[in-house]
Amino acid sequence: MRGMDLSLNHTQKLRLQRALESLESGTNSNASVTVADTIPVNQEDGVLKGHGTTDLDGEVVATVCGVIERVNKLVYVRTLRARYKPEVGDIIVGRVLEVAPKRWRLEINFSQDAVLMLSSMNLPDGIQRRRTAVDELNMRSIFEENDVICAEVRDFMRDGSLQLQARSQKYGKLERGQMLTVSPYLVKRRKQHFHHLEKYGIDLILGCNGFIWVGEHVETKDNMIEDEPSKPDPKNNKSQISISLEEQEQTYTPLETRQYICRIANAIRVLSTLGFSITVDVIREIVDLSTSKGLDIHDMLGAEFCVLVAEKEAERRR
């Protein structure tokens, strides 16, 4: 069912079906169309046929499966499981693919790679100045290949790819955590995408492109304040190879924080399997549900918990 790899026994299948049915009955099914359905339009003239529609024998017919949207005279069909559709101001999480002259190229689950210009990024010393050739040579000390970065969409370039900016302190490299990939349509645009869960000491960043970061909380330092201790010299990272195993073990994430990180990550995985929208409140509820049931972290990915989450969501929406 829905391509899930869970082996549900008979009762679990029934419960899951019942929960999903009660969720579906709440929605307005009049607006949804499949391919080749006619779209009811009041006046035949003066109707702008938008994306996902076509004119067939004088009737407006849908060419994709989705929901009908009307804006004044424009009628279009919005697909549900579309690729990520970026907008200016979106917070996204991406992975560096390439270090190019004066820019970094990031992979962000979009049809093209996004570009983060060197000038859109704060320098390590925090001074606002013109980027010199030396800065360009030291780009790798800021971000390297395969680094996970949080940034904001600045605007679109002429060929349709994105330009990003990471000027604020809350953007930048993400370490000490894990990155998850979900379908972009599950993360809706909200006012806040950065969540600091104080109870667990964890940073949760819900990228609009479907990349979600769950990691240990990192205090955002302001480089302009002189009294604060400076960031560790990036060169120290290179000598990590020579750090012994014992020293490395001391820098690992503490076990309790790690447990919460894994619980939140598994909660997101369950939501992604079931196709429910991912918001902080829902995640918090699922984590509380799992701890109240005393479930082992790995059991959160099992069939029973999946059915419980579906039932809870059905109850919540009623």
Partner 1 sequence: MVGLSVGEKQFIQGGIAQDLRTDGRKRLTYRPIFIETGVIAQANGSARVKMGQTHVIASVKAELGRPSSSAPDKGKVSIFVDCSATAAPQFEGRGGEEVSMELSAALRQCLLGGKTGAGAGINLSSLSIVDGKVCWDLYIDGLVISMDGNVLDALGAAIKAALSNTGIPKVNIASAATSDEQPEVDVSDEEFLQFDTTAVPVIVTLTKVGRHYIVDATTEEESQMSSAVSVSVNRQGLVCGLTKRGGAGLDPSVILDMISVAKHVSEQLMNKLDSEIAAAEAMEED
Asked whether position 222 contacts partner 1 by CB under 8 A, the answer is no
> Site for partner 1 (CB under 8 A): which residue of 182, 263, 278, 287?
263
Place of tokens 């604060």: 228
Give the whole-angstrom CA distance, residue 144 versus residue 235.
Answer: 13
Q: Which is nearer to partner 1, 26 or 254 (CB)?
A: 254
Asked whether position 266 contacts partner 1 by CB under 8 A, the answer is yes
Taking CB under 8 A as the binding criterion, the range among 68-76, 132-140, 184-192, 298-306 that sits at the site for partner 1 is: 298-306
String of contacts with partner 1 for each residue 89-128, x by CB under 8 A: ------x---------------------------------
Asked whether position 301 contacts partner 1 by CB under 8 A, the answer is yes
Q: Which is nearer to partner 1, 75 or 206 (CB)?
A: 206
Give the whole-angstrom CA distance, residue 14 versus residue 313.
Answer: 16
> Site for partner 1 (CB under 8 A): which residue of 108, 265, 268, 308?
265
| Residues contacting 160, CB < 8 A, separation 6+ | 111, 112
> Site for partner 1 (CB under 8 A): which residue of 60, 274, 300, 308?
300
Q: Which is nearer to partner 1, 45 or 296 (CB)?
A: 296
Give the whole-angstrom CA distance, residue 141 versus residue 59.
Answer: 59
CB of 269 to partner 1, least distance (A): 8
Angle at 233 between CA 230 and CA 238, to 5 degrees: 155
Asked whether position 2 contacts partner 1 by CB under 8 A, the answer is no
Q: Which is nearer to partner 1, 29 or 146 (CB)?
A: 146
Asked whether position 288 contacts partner 1 by CB under 8 A, the answer is no
CB of 91 to partner 1, least distance (A): 19
Binding to partner 1 in span 33-72, by CB under 8 A: none
Q: Which is nearer to partner 1, 7 or 128 (CB)?
A: 7
Q: Which is nearer to partner 1, 15 or 95 (CB)?
A: 95
Taking CB under 8 A as the binding criterion, the range among 123-131, 138-146, 194-202, 306-314 that sits at the site for partner 1 is: 138-146
| Interface residue list for partner 1 (CB under 8 A) | 5-7, 95, 144-148, 173-179, 215, 237, 240, 245, 248-249, 251-253, 255, 258-259, 262-263, 265-266, 269, 296-298, 300-302
